[in-house]
């Protein structure tokens, strides 16, 4: 009995074993041993974050070449390196990607949808396509919070999701479930190369800024005391927060939504505060760069546009070399903007930081003389950025314009910038009404001259910044409005003695909307002068583009600037890009910085994909429906003022910086004046009579 | 007609999961998504049918003649385990597409009490070979039906706001209980 049962069981077992053994021999299927090896080094969490069904699936995917070494979203670089080792792949550390929430309006969702008791925005979206007024923004339901397997997203105090960059693995499940697409998985490269699109969360200031800085974001970071984070946000768009914080005429503030209530938020003051904070702390914040690609790009011109382009190319991993004609970098920032507005020490500190990322600079190199597009190509530069600025002055087209003592405002400012003798006299006449004219006038005042600024229209039409006009007035610059020079009067030695001008009156408005000045016959008058500076406009010096036979491979526009695609900044030669004043004609520093980034973006695409491109829904003009002027439910809050470091009497004999930074308390106040606008939404104020102390303010934002 | 009653009884009245409470772990474990549930259900139908037929032969030609009925359980386990392994090898080589869709569930079935239960019930009811085949396929379909229904319910529950302590398996078990109660309505319609 026992023997029989043992025999039977043994027999069944043996038969099964034999069948299986034979089967495994006959039915053997080759399986790559690397699959098991790869699986053993993966995290083993079976989280599915990589998009494969579990770690075994991922391992199979890697071996089949469907996924790269960095397949595991949890393991990070160490696991990726091991996988690469098994597979014999090249592994270079990839940049960290994290989820990025580009909306600050969740708390303002006007109606929260309940799906059978659950707040659910997917259902909400399917049924009603969202109940919020803003067509783009976060609904604040937190589906992304539930979707995150790593606990990296939480609902912030302001009703929109906050990502913890340390926990985020960039698996993308939050971005998948978000019905509004306000979450994207972004690495630094993607953030740097992003241009404003009409369905981004663009507050008016963000639409207006030529540098496309994410203004509401850095203001919010400053309000939390995260100055380093704010600078990182700014540096994803411009490399020079210190300089911009000082010289920018802040067009953003002109469209600030709070400007419809009381006065615009002091956006630039906040930027300057953050930038000064870093400089005064003495240590530079680290700036991350993508892994080296080793591809050489020549950047011609070390002004704002060139510096910006080189800086972003470097951050994208390329190897830019700046070719500068002057002995120092900075362009108009150094040689055009006077010391009292932008101290050279500050500029030097900032440029040092940019160059320190690993950018080569060659000084005293003239384009067209020391090198050319052909020689650059021979030296292995795969793309060229031309940003030589607009340094050539327009002529007055009057008699004796070349008399001794007559020179241009930019030449004068350059000489002051270089620290060489300017030959300035005692009675100076500056001709022009722009910022260069004012800079020349205010600089002359500091060199102890009696200065008259001559402009053919009135103060209201002056293109210079209002602050500058008032500042010059305060320092004793005399204005002579409605006056146009007709002749330079010289003595026997050919030196200027007088300027003859004719008085004007304003006629009908011209194409630019300004009233055209019309001369009054017979009103010629003489004004005494031993030095005359003209500053009636500049244009790029394009003669360097022409070869000896007078031909030019690039295109010149009717405004005497370099022609290029307005979006990609690519010129007629596919590997040549341009930007800054050379492309736009004289414009703002921030415009040049913005164009530098755009060009770097195009060059990056050109190097990687062959052709630069922009998204179809790129934002070009201000978005109409966001520009409403009726802003209800916002209380008045007084704007902070920039302190003056030195006062009027002292100012005229000193080149010391005039404007100081606001203090920490003021910056807190200023940040909570910000309405945290989105496209259409903004933070409404609360009960009447509410004051703005920091804590309360933060709570209500 | 008898076969029709047999099928109806196996699928609805004596549903292997909901009336006999066999195979509960894969029932809860693989009922999170309906796609997975269908794959698992098909695998069970396939294996249960093969296992029932083979074990019927083992019982008929090996155990019963030698009067070794008490070895039924252990012998069946042995046979089913070996069978599943063999099927896995066979499918991998011969029908790779089928292996891809069923393969990952086969190891789960090796120790599945529903499969063993079906084989043993066939012996208890003293079915003929044809009846065994029909009954085992029908029982497998019953398992699949229960699994797919539960998976569909649980997919909906994922969308709802549920207390954290009840999320996942606890709520799955409650749903299984309610389904079982519902299936009791078939009680007595066929034996």
- Quickly list DSSP for A608-630: HHSS----TTB--SPPGGG----
If asked whether residues A402 and A488 sit together in one domain, one would say yes
* Residue A525 falls inside a structural domain: yes
- Can you give the residue range of the structural domain that contains B56? 35-180
| Numbered residues of chain A with Cβ closer than 8 Å to any chain B Cβ | 4-5, 8-9, 12-13, 16-17, 19-20, 23-24, 26-29, 115-120, 122-123
Q: Measure the CA–CA gap between B63 and A56, rounded to whole angstroms.
A: 41
If asked whether residues A325 and A266 sit together in one domain, one would say no
Q: Which residues of A touch B68 (CB under 8 A)?
A: 4-5, 8
What are the angstrom distances between the C-alpha of A2 and each of A7, A10, B69?
8, 12, 13
The pLDDT of residue A114 is above 60: no
Average pLDDT over residues B168-188: 89
* Residue A22 falls inside a structural domain: no
Residue A120 pLDDT level (bands cut at 50, 70, 90): low
If asked whether residues A426 and A531 sit together in one domain, one would say yes
- Can you give the residue range of the structural domain that contains A438? 393-539
Q: Domain end: A72, A94, A116, which one?
A: A94
If asked whether residues A326 and A464 sit together in one domain, one would say no
Q: Which residues of B touch A23 (CB under 8 A)?
A: 86, 89-90
* pLDDT given at position A687: 40
* pLDDT given at position A325: 92
Token representation of residue A254: 């002109």
* Residue A435 falls inside a structural domain: yes
Which of B71, B88, B108, B155 best probes binding to A when mutated, by most A CB atoms within 10 angstroms?
Answer: B71
Q: Which residue of A has its CA nearest to B73?
A: A9
**B90 in contact with A, Cβ within 8 Å:** yes
* Residue B2 falls inside a structural domain: no
Q: Can you give the C-alpha Rg of chain A in angstroms?
A: 32
Q: Measure the CA–CA gap between A87 and A89, rounded to whole angstroms.
A: 5
* pLDDT given at position A701: 41
Three-state SS string over A145-173 comes to HHHCCCCCEEECCCCCEEECCCCCCCCCH
**B68 in contact with A, Cβ within 8 Å:** yes
If asked whether residues A353 and A498 sit together in one domain, one would say no
Write the pLDDT tens digit of every residue in A478-497: 999 999 999 999 988 889 99
Residue A686 pLDDT level (bands cut at 50, 70, 90): very low
Interchain contact, B94 vs A27, CB within 8 Å: yes
Which of B93, B163, B166 best probes binding to A when mutated, by most A CB atoms within 10 angstroms?
Answer: B93
* Residue B189 falls inside a structural domain: no
The pLDDT of residue A205 is above 70: yes
If asked whether residues A519 and A466 sit together in one domain, one would say yes
If asked whether residues A244 and A342 sit together in one domain, one would say no
* Residue B135 falls inside a structural domain: yes
* Residue A316 falls inside a structural domain: yes
Helix or strand (DSSP H, E) at A375? helix A373-378
Pairing assessment for the beta strands A383-386 and A576-578 based on DSSP bridges: parallel
Residue A394 pLDDT level (bands cut at 50, 70, 90): confident
Interchain contact, A12 vs B159, CB within 8 Å: no
**Mean pLDDT (chain A, rounded):** 83
Residue A489, SS3? strand
If asked whether residues A364 and A383 sit together in one domain, one would say yes
* Residue A575 falls inside a structural domain: yes
* pLDDT given at position A2: 83
CATH number at residue A107: 3.30.70.20
* Residue B29 falls inside a structural domain: no
* pLDDT given at position A230: 93
**B50 in contact with A, Cβ within 8 Å:** no
* pLDDT given at position B54: 92
Residue A607 pLDDT level (bands cut at 50, 70, 90): very high
If asked whether residues A436 and A379 sit together in one domain, one would say no
* Residue A669 falls inside a structural domain: no
Q: Which residues of B touch A5 (CB under 8 A)?
A: 68, 70-71
The pLDDT of residue A552 is above 90: no
**B64 in contact with A, Cβ within 8 Å:** no
CATH number at residue A400: 3.50.50.60
* pLDDT given at position B32: 80
Compute CA A46 distance to the chain's CA centroid, rounded to the nearest angstrom. 40
Q: Measure the CA–CA gap between A3 and A1, rounded to whole angstroms.
A: 5
Closest by Cβ to B68, choosing from A4, A13, A24: A4
* pLDDT given at position A132: 41
Residue B49 pLDDT level (bands cut at 50, 70, 90): very high
Average pLDDT over residues A252-258: 92
If asked whether residues A127 and A147 sit together in one domain, one would say yes
Average pLDDT over residues A531-553: 82
* Residue B104 falls inside a structural domain: yes
How many domains does chain A divide into? 4
* Residue A477 falls inside a structural domain: yes
The pLDDT of residue A688 is above 50: no
Q: Domain end: A565, A584, A609, which one?
A: A609
User: Which position has the higher pLDDT, A414 or A30?
Assistant: A414
The pLDDT of residue A292 is above 80: yes
* pLDDT given at position A689: 45
* Residue B117 falls inside a structural domain: yes
Q: Which of A425, A388, A426, A432 is nearest to A408 (CA)?
A: A432
Which of A5, A13, A147 best probes binding to B when mutated, by most B CB atoms within 10 angstroms?
Answer: A5
Average pLDDT over residues A272-277: 93
Q: Which residue of A has its CA nearest to B55?
A: A12
* Residue A64 falls inside a structural domain: yes
Closest by Cβ to B93, choosing from A12, A20, A27: A27
* pLDDT given at position A350: 94
If asked whether residues A277 and A336 sit together in one domain, one would say no
- H-helix segments, A425-477: 435-446, 466-474
Pairing assessment for the beta strands A161-163 and A153-155 based on DSSP bridges: antiparallel
- Residue A398, burial from CB neighbour count under 10 angstroms (0-12, 13-18, 19+): middle
The pLDDT of residue B63 is above 80: yes
* pLDDT given at position B137: 94
* Residue B71 falls inside a structural domain: yes
A32: closest CA of chain B, how far (Å): 14
The pLDDT of residue A110 is above 80: no
Compute CA A312 distance to the chain's CA centroid, rounded to the nearest angstrom. 10
Give the percent of chain A with pLDDT over 70: 89
Give the percent of chain B with pLDDT over 90: 30
The pLDDT of residue B135 is above 90: yes
User: Which position has the higher pLDDT, B55 or B165?
Assistant: B55
The pLDDT of residue A700 is above 50: no
How many domains does chain B divide into? 1
Least confident of A89-98, A181-190, A417-426, A584-593: A89-98
* pLDDT given at position A379: 93
* pLDDT given at position A275: 94
Mention every residue, 6+ apart, whose C-beta is less than 8 A from residue A647: none
Average pLDDT over residues A648-665: 78
Q: Domain end: A94, A116, A141, which one?
A: A94
If asked whether residues A503 and A563 sit together in one domain, one would say no
Q: Measure the CA–CA gap between A141 and A130, rounded to whole angstroms.
A: 11
* Residue B3 falls inside a structural domain: no
């Amino acid at each position: 009995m026992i023997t029989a049962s043992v025999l039977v069981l043994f027999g069944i077992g043996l038969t099964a074993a034999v069948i299986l053994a034979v089967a495994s021999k006959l039915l053997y299927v080759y399986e790559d041993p690397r699959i098991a090896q790869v699986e053993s080094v993966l995290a083993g969490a079976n989280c599915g974050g990589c998009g494969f069904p579990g770690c075994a699936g991922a391992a199979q995917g890697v071996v089949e070449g469907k996924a790269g070494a960095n397949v595991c979203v949890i393991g990070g670089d160490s696991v990726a390196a091991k996988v690469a080792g098994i597979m014999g792949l090249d592994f270079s550390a990839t940049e960290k990607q994290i989820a990025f929430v580009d909306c600050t309006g969740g708390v303002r969702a006007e109606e929260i949808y309940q799906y059978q008791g659950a707040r659910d925005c997917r259902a909400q979206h399917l049924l009603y396509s969202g109940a919020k007024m803003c067509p783009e923004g976060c609904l604040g339901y937190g589906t992304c919070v539930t979707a995150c397997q790593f606990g990296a997203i939480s609902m912030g105090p302001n009703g929109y999701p906050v990502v913890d960059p340390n926990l985020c693995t960039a698996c993308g499940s939050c971005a998948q479930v978000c019905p509004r697409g306000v979450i994207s998985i972004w690495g630094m490269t993607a953030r740097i190369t992003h241009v404003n699109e009409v369905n981004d969360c663009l507050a008016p200031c963000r639409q207006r800024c030529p540098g496309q800085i994410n203004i509401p974001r850095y203001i919010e970071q400053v309000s939390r005391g995260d100055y380093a984070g704010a600078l990182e946000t700014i540096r994803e768009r411009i490399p020079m927060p210190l300089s911009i914080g000082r010289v920018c005429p802040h067009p953003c503030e002109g469209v600030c939504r709070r400007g419809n209530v009381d006065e615009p938020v002091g956006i630039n003051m906040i930027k300057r505060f953050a930038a000064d904070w870093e400089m005064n702390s003495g240590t530079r914040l680290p700036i991350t760069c993508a892994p080296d690609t080793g591809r050489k790009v020549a950047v011609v011109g070390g002004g704002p546009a060139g510096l910006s382009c080189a800086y972003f190319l470097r951050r994208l991993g390329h190897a830019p070399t700046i070719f500068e004609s002057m002995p120092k970098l900075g362009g108009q920032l150094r040689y055009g903007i006077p010391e009292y507005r932008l101290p050279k020490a500050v500029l030097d500190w900032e440029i040092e930081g940019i160059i320190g990322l690993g950018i080569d600079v060659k000084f005293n190199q003239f384009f067209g003389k020391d090198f050319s597009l052909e020689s650059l190509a021979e030296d292995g530069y795969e793309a060229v950025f031309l940003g030589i600025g607009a340094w050539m002055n327009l002529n007055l087209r009057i008699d004796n314009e070349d008399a001794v003592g007559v020179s241009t405002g930019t030449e004068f400012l350059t000489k002051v910038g270089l620290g060489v003798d300017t030959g300035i006299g005692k009675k100076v006449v500056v001709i022009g009404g722009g910022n260069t004219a004012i800079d020349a006038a205010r600089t002359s005042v500091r060199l102890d001259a009696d200065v008259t600024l001559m402009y053919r229209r009135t103060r209201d039409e002056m293109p210079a910044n209002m602050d500058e006009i008032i500042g010059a007035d305060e320092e004793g610059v005399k204005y002579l409005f409605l006056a146009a020079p007709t002749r330079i009067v010289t003595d026997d030695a050919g030196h200027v003695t007088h300027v003859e001008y004719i008085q004007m009156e304003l006629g009908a408005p011209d194409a630019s909307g300004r009233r055209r000045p019309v001369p009054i016959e017979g009103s010629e008058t003489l004004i005494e002068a031993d030095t005359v500076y003209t500053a009636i406009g500049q244009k790029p010096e394009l003669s360097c583009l022409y070869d000896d036979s007078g031909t030019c491979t690039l295109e010149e526009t009717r405004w005497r600037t370099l022609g290029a695609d307005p979006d990609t900044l690519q010129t007629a030669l596919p590997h040549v890009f341009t930007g800054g004043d050379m492309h736009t004609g004289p414009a703002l520093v921030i415009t040049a910085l913005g164009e530098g980034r755009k060009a770097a973006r195009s060059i990056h695409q050109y190097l990687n994909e062959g052709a630069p491109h922009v998204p179809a829904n790129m934002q070009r003009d201000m978005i109409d429906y966001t520009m409403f002027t009726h802003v209800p439910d916002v209380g008045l809050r007084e704007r902070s003022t920039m302190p003056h470091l030195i006062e009027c009497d002292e100012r005229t004999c000193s080149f010391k910086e005039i404007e100081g930074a606001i203090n920490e308390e003021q910056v807190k106040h200023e940040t909570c004046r910000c309405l945290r606008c989105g496209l259409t939404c903004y933070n409404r104020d609360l009960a009447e009579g509410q004051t703005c102390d920091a804590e309360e303010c933060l709570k209500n934002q | 007609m008898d076969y029709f009653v047999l099928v109806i009884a196996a699928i609805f009245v004596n549903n292997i999961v909901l009336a006999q409470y066999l195979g509960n772990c894969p029932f809860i474990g693989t009922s999170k998504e309906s796609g997975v549930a269908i794959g698992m259900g098909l695998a069970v139908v396939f294996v249960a049918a093969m296992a029932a037929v083979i074990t019927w032969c083992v019982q008929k030609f090996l155990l019963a003649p030698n009067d070794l009925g008490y070895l039924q359980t252990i012998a069946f386990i042995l046979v089913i385990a070996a069978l599943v392994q063999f099927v896995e090898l066979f499918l991998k080589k011969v029908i790779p597409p089928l292996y891809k869709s069923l393969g990952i569930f086969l190891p789960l079935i090796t120790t599945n009490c529903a499969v063993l239960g079906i084989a043993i019930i066939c012996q208890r009811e003293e079915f003929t070979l044809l009846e065994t085949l029909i009954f085992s396929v029908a029982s497998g379909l019953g398992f699949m039906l229960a699994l797919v229904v539960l998976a569909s319910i649980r997919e909906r529950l994922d969308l709802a706001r549920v207390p954290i302590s009840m999320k996942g398996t606890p709520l799955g078990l409650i749903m299984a209980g309610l389904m079982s109660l519902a299936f009791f309505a078939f009680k007595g319609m066929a034996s």
